[in-house]
Amino acid sequence: MLVHIPNLLTPEEVSYCLTTLEQSQWIDGKVTAGDQSAKAKFNLQVPQESAESRELGDLVLRALGRNPLFNSAALPLRVFPPLFNRYDEGMRFHTHVDNAIRPLPGTGFRIRTDVSSTLFLSDPADYDGGELIIQDTFGTQKIRLPAGDMVLYPSTSLHSVSQVTRGSRWASFFWSQSMVPDNTQRTLLYQFDMSIIETRKHLPDDHPAVLGLTATYHNLLRQWAEL
């Protein structure tokens, strides 16, 4: 399941992120790559332990918390602290799959990566290339979104970032461990929830059809969720 989430960040939040990132230190993006991915990864990244990364990561987490579409699609149990990267001219990330398990910085815990997310921070007019290319059962999708928009997709997907040929592409990226690890079940619940929302536009909340659909949704979630 691939889901486009428009306007996760407001224009003011995007502007603040870019201003803060301009003042940040940038290091080789291979620091967060696995052995195989490191051979394919050519970009820059803000150190995840830096004050800028923590501040902007908290900003993104607050935006996720207020966004019902993200919570419906990801059903997040845990979210990895958002990271920030950039692709300058000539940089790219060859086809790879994300690591299945990632340690949470500063804790003794780990998270299973079920859902990957890329939050675009650069205006598409400011760079050429840099498409996020995702390969999965829904086909191959090339993604370039407006600043502040986000895409989420299964972490099992092969994906890449095409070479930037002009300008610079800045983004935030992170992973979520879902309460429902199975992508097929998670997709069904998302589609079910979207149908409930649409039904409630036409029927009152206490209508038997709305009550029945809502009850079935929660009973399926109760059956499939792992906490």
Write out the binding residues for 2-oxoglutarate.
Answer: 169
Q: Which residues are annotated as a binding site for Fe cation?
A: 96, 98, 159
> Which residue in 112, 51, 52, 50 sits closest to 80, CA to CA?
112
Residue list, annotated binding site:
96, 98, 159, 169
Long-range pairs for 24-33: beta carbons < 8 A, 24 or more residues apart: 24/50, 24/52, 24/53, 24/84, 25/50, 26/86, 29/85, 32/83
- Indicate the pairing of strand 3-5 with strand 76-79: unpaired
Closest alpha carbon to 119 in 147, 155, 92: 147
φ, ψ for residue 15 (rounded to 5)? -60, -40
Q: Can you tell me the distance from the alpha carbon of 178 to that of 189, in angstroms, rounded to the nearest whole number?
A: 12
> Is 80:69 a contact under the CB 8 Å cutoff?
no
Report the length, in residues, of the chain. Answer: 227
